[in-house]
Amino acid sequence: MKDTKGSGRRSPVALTALALVLVAAMFALAACGSSSSSSNDSGSGSSSSGGSSTTSSDNGSGLKPVNSGKLTVGMNLQFRPEMYLQGGQPAGYDVELLRLLAPAAGVRLNIQNLDFNGLIPGLQAKKFDMVSVGLSATPERRQVVDFSRPYVPYAQILGVPAGRASSVTSIAQLNQKGRTIVALQGSTAETTARRVFPNATVDSLPDQNAAFLQVATGRADGIVVEDYLLAQFTASNPGRLAPSAISRPLDLEYGSYAVPKGNDAFVSFLNRWICERQADGTLERIYRQQFSVRTMPPMPACPA
């Protein structure tokens, strides 16, 4: 999840170094019970007898489940469309992938819904087998947890008035004096806008919808925003805005699964599984369905 302050998603991707220090200080004290939590068992695989187990699943996944017969996953279910509650049940891109991953590992899915700040301490304390919240694998985080290869992209694109979309084919067309680009105040989109359009005027607004309307009403030439947020706006406001014809995202970052330190075999299993689902089109199919976008941003190439 990228940092899009005020857009409905709090971002694990852009935690500051200070926040990481605070999280580290919590390791010895934090218990998952201090955060509101709920579980959801789903998927096929071996039955659960409860309790803990240090025995790997029998299909070569390298998983050593903290709860026998289950893949216990820490999540923060408040970031639609990536992970959220629908009718009291987990839903979204991450959840759909996990429902396929658990049977592949020979276990049932057990989702634990917690506040974000409890996830990394909980993983360290072996409360979960993995965390699925689109974390970026920063050097600071790599000191305390291990990561899989990326499974979800975060693409920032340029939205423009729908009637001009096909004619805006390069950054240079709007990177000029007299042009105005808007972005959500305090977000990574604002940082990207100032970096990519240094010659234009970049205005930041505290409300995402207000930023969209600046462009839709002609008071700005474009908006830097995540692709799925633009897709949601255009679905509700057809004919107002559209992605520009610039061929590549203005910025592209990725989220990975986090696992406890030292389980290299399970990380290798996750990497193989992600690459298989990338190759057979499963990632793109679920991403397009859940994020309501036409194409999935490019993913890092898997080993040949």
The total number of residues written for the chain in this structure = 304
pTM: 0.75
User: Quick one: 304 exposed, middle or buried, by C-beta within 10 A (0-12, 13-18, 19+)?
Assistant: exposed
Distance of alpha carbon 260 from alpha carbon 198, whole angstroms: 41
For residue 10, being part of any structural domain is answered with no
What local confidence, expressed as pLDDT, does residue 170 receive? 98
| Residue given tokens 């096929």 in the structure block | 44
For residue 222, being part of any structural domain is answered with yes
Residues 148 and 244 in one domain: no
What local confidence, expressed as pLDDT, does residue 245 receive? 97
Distance of alpha carbon 245 from alpha carbon 294, whole angstroms: 13
Residue type, 1: M
Residues 139 and 40 in one domain: yes
For residue 133, being part of any structural domain is answered with yes
What local confidence, expressed as pLDDT, does residue 162 receive? 97
Determine the structural domain holding residue 36 and report its residue range. 17-153+255-291
What local confidence, expressed as pLDDT, does residue 138 receive? 87
What local confidence, expressed as pLDDT, does residue 208 receive? 92
> How far is the CA of 279 from the CAs of 167, 274, 275, in angstroms?
33, 9, 6
Helices marked H in 78-197: 93-104, 119-124, 139-142, 188-196
| Residue given tokens 């369905």 in the structure block | 289
Residues 79 and 224 in one domain: no
- Domain count for the chain: 2
Residues 146 and 186 in one domain: no
Residues 6 or more apart from 172 whose CB is under 8 A from it? none
What local confidence, expressed as pLDDT, does residue 25 receive? 39
The radius of gyration computed from the CA coordinates of the chain, to the nearest angstrom, equals 20
Distance of alpha carbon 98 from alpha carbon 113, whole angstroms: 14
Q: What is the CATH number of the domain that holds 71?
A: 3.40.190.10
Residue 155 contacts residue 229 (beta carbons within 8 Å): no
User: pLDDT tens per residue, the chain (304 residues)?
Assistant: 554 433 333 343 333 333 433 334 343 333 333 334 455 665 433 333 333 344 445 568 999 999 999 999 999 998 889 999 999 999 999 999 999 999 999 999 999 999 988 999 999 999 999 999 999 898 999 999 999 999 999 999 999 999 999 999 999 999 999 999 999 998 889 999 999 999 999 999 999 999 999 999 999 999 999 999 999 999 999 999 999 999 999 999 999 999 999 999 999 999 999 999 999 999 999 999 999 888 899 999 999 8
Residues 180 and 78 in one domain: no
**The two three-digit tokens of residue 52, written as one number:** 């803990």
